[in-house]
Structure 1
């Protein structure tokens, strides 16, 4: 009998690998439908504000690769959305941590050290 990887599941015919916390490994296909499904699993209904954050983290990843730490991405988010209220506002959108939840919903790998509550995660 073959080895079964419990960190994989099938979505619309594609096998998507995940770490034990549910974050996608690598960058498999991602679209708005996948984001909506992931957000529902997080208990979040995506609004235009959520989409702004998701687009920001995806663009940040595209330009810079995976952040060196959760703190780096948290600071980038705080700076980008400072006019909206920064971290406090981001936590109203992503109550379990803007870095962790936004990364997960955006289909991005989690930056190292993100599960430390002081680095943008309340998980």
Structure 2
């Protein structure tokens, strides 16, 4: 059975929308994070998990960031001792906000990378 037919006949089986965002933040697990990272060709090391954990804690405490720049600035500040922006882009070459948010199972903030067109807004 094709993937689309499976989703039509088993709508409860879908855990994410067509854009890759989880329908329910409670559905997130480390296993799902590893699967998402693998789809992005990323290996998850402790440094990656530290960023993901920070994002999940931020979301829990403050909700979704107003925009990607705000969240990137917070990440750069938090990880400044490790190298800041350069360090974050080494961990997440597709963009630390976009990739780390998706791996963390969180909504990607506005003004993040648009994967469908290959550029940033």
TM-score interval (norm. to shorter) = 0.7 to 0.9
User: Runs in 1 of length 4+ with deviation above 6 angstroms?
Assistant: none
Which has the larger helix fraction? Answer: 2
| CA distances 1:61-118 after superposition (whole Å, capped 9, x unpaired) | 01110000001110010000000000100000000000000000000001011127xx
- Which structure: larger Rg? 2
Q: 1:79 aligns with which of 77, 80, 98?
A: 77
The 1:48/1:42 distance shift into structure 2, 3 A limit, reads same
Count of matched residue positions in the alignment of Structure 1 and Structure 2: 109
Residue ranges of structure 1 left out of the alignment (5+ in a row) = none
Residue ranges of structure 2 left out of the alignment (5+ in a row) = none
Distance 2:24 2:67 in 1: 16
Aligned position for 2:52: 54
Aligned position for 1:17: 16
| TM-score under structure 1 length normalisation | 0.79
